[in-house]
Chains A and B, each alone.
Chain A
């Protein structure tokens, strides 16, 4: 069998008494799009930090292309093809928008300085930031900061893109643009894992959905199947439907 793009086997992590990842198993094929839902504090962003390498799991294994990357630091995982956005945008504020993506292209995607201009311009066009390429990232409004999170993650040349709540706070029209952008990213062959509370945006893009609660995968499967499951309804509505 072809190894999966990403595979988590029994991954666990606690912060003191708080269990944020409880024996998580997960498998993602190349080019696939997976959505993650769950209440605040369910361990969604922690899962991204584990996959991206900013946190080490207490137990379990993380495989990329069948290779064990559990002990691989974040910078090496990025170069191996994992790009991520942060839930709270973390732009390089003293650099311009273009320089933010250029750093990602040079170090994450391994682009040569000669390739960087075209490569980043393409991504800035895709994410709607091309008109602000020379602006300082620290002075951007929230929507543009979120766009920059996406642009910078894309500029690392990922095969797997981790998106953490990038649709929150967007207007309907902006959300539609974002959906189109992520569809385009998928069309280019990038696998996506997307954490999102804006469920309708998520459902417009993903093939598969999992629900997290207290660090555990409580539901997994086709999007409408998960959304209609008793456990998800209990978590979100408080009562079984």
Chain B
């Protein structure tokens, strides 16, 4: 019905000799180093202790969740404190699919993602009627509703939860080959498989977010966050982009949740939908490292890991300390450790800015 006509554009397209530059020499070197690090992490189970592998499972899952929260809240302006809804649903779908329907865990994981995405698609239109802090509270309420519903689900233990029977993981696909390959016992092989799964998920999440942030849709998303009215006035389908992002992040968060609970092998509504575990820590990672950067959460998760390693035995004091660090950071370094460093030193390992250059 409405055709395009661009009188302004016709004068000098293609003859101006301008181009857009995003990458730098540093970012290309960083990409090569990152590739080596990933390869190193893939072969790590051949040398590393089981404790380190278990620690890294925690690091990778938290990093994936933090990156997903960062893209929703940092780039999209969708500040949610209800991501535990998708973690918990992912975990419960994994349990339901394996325990009740007898599916292989590796098949149940994508199923968990799809289910979480479906729920995200259904509640999205309701939540998006709310703005800012109301959206945040709404997302939390949704997670609480999910928790209460799962607590009513008797086949998986209701409010007390249930454990994953040994038979589920004992016959898991890939267990035998990994046992033979690394010459380890079945429980260790299971950890290794989960480790590789989390590695795949976190690398894919980071790569996808980086590609997205540099794409035209990533530019559009940043515009919708800065001004909804102006973004719509320059032709961006703001609502559609936000909704699509919300669903995709729901799928990814559900997948992470399923993997987390495959590793834990025990689920309860209070743990699976815990706002502390799946949103507070995640927020801590993103805020400490630097919101709106991809490097930031990597720094943040390493810091959390270190703090947990040295201070977790102090119990609630540890949580108080985390809260204190987060408050001090927000007051004095609102851009986070990496964000502040990157800005002052002008060092960007994964640059996102599009710079205009004359060729």
Q: Is the CB of B219 within 8 A of A109?
A: no
Stretch at the interface among A154-162, A170-178, A214-222: A154-162
Q: Who on chain B is nearest to A120 by CB?
A: B356
Beta-carbon contacts under 8 Å, B1-20 to A: 1-20
B131 on interface, CB distance cutoff 8 Å: no
> Is A92 a contact partner of B230 (Cβ separation < 8 A)?
yes
Q: A103-B220, A117-B356, A134-B355 are in contact. Are A67 and B231 (CB under 8 A)?
A: no
Assuming the A-B contacts A90-B227, A117-B19, A156-B234, are A188 and B222 also in contact, with contact meaning beta carbons closer than 8 angstroms in the complex?
Answer: no
Structural contact, B226 and A86, CB atoms closer than 8 A: no
Tell me whether B233 and A91 are in contact (CB under 8 A).
no
B223 beta carbon closer than 8 Å to chain A: yes
Contacts of B226 in A (CB 8 A): 90-95, 138
B264 contacts the other chain (Cβ, under 8 Å)? no
Tell whether, in the assembled complex, residue A107 and residue B220 are in contact, meaning their CB atoms are under 8 Å apart.
Answer: yes
Name the CB-closest residue of A to B359: A117
Measured between alpha carbons, how far is A152 from B355 in the docked complex, in Å? 16
Distance of A74 Cα from B227 Cα, bound (Å): 14
Which of B18, B216, B222, B231 has the most A CB atoms < 10 Å from its CB? B18
Check B14 against A67 for contact (C-beta < 8 Å): no
Contacting pair B16 A107 (CB below 8 A): no
Which positions 189-208 of chain B face chain A at CB distance < 8 Å?
none
> B285 on the interface (CB 8 Å rule)?
no
Cβ-closest chain B residue relative to A126: B8
Q: Which of B120-128, B152-160, B235-243 lies on the face that meets chain A?
A: B235-243
| Contact partners of B20 in chain A: CB under 8 A | 98, 102, 113, 116-117
**Inter-chain contact A99/B220, CB cutoff 8 Å:** no
User: Which of B3, B5, B15, B231 contacts A103, CB < 8 Å?
Assistant: B231
B-side contacts of A134, CB under 8 Å? 353, 355-356
B170 at the interface (CB under 8 A from A): no
Task: Bits for A186-222, please: 1 = Cβ < 8 Å to B, else 0.
Answer: 0011100000000000000000000000000000000
Determine the chain B residues whose CB is within 8 A of the CB of A231 once the complex forms: none
A52 at interface (Cβ–Cβ under 8 A)?
yes
Which of B2, B216, B237 is close to A113, meaning CB atoms less than 8 Å apart?
B216
Question: Which of B4, B20, B234, B292 has its CB near the most chain A CB atoms (within 10 A)?
Answer: B234
**Per-position contact with A for B215-257: 1 when CB-CB < 8 Å, else 0?**
0100110110111011111111110000000000000000000
Residues of B that sit less than 8 Å from A by CB: 1-20, 216, 219-220, 222-223, 225-227, 229-238, 292, 353-356
Q: Would you give 30 A-B contacts (Cβ < 8 Å), ordered by A?
A: A54-B233, A64-B2, A76-B235, A80-B4, A81-B5, A83-B233, A86-B233, A90-B226, A90-B230, A92-B226, A92-B231, A93-B226, A95-B219, A95-B226, A102-B354, A107-B220, A107-B235, A109-B4, A113-B20, A115-B9, A115-B13, A118-B14, A118-B17, A122-B11, A133-B356, A134-B356, A152-B234, A156-B234, A157-B8, A157-B9
A interface residues, Cβ below 8 angstroms from B: 52-54, 64-65, 67, 69, 72-76, 78-81, 83-84, 86, 90-96, 98-100, 102-104, 106-111, 113, 115-124, 133-134, 138, 152-159, 185, 188-190
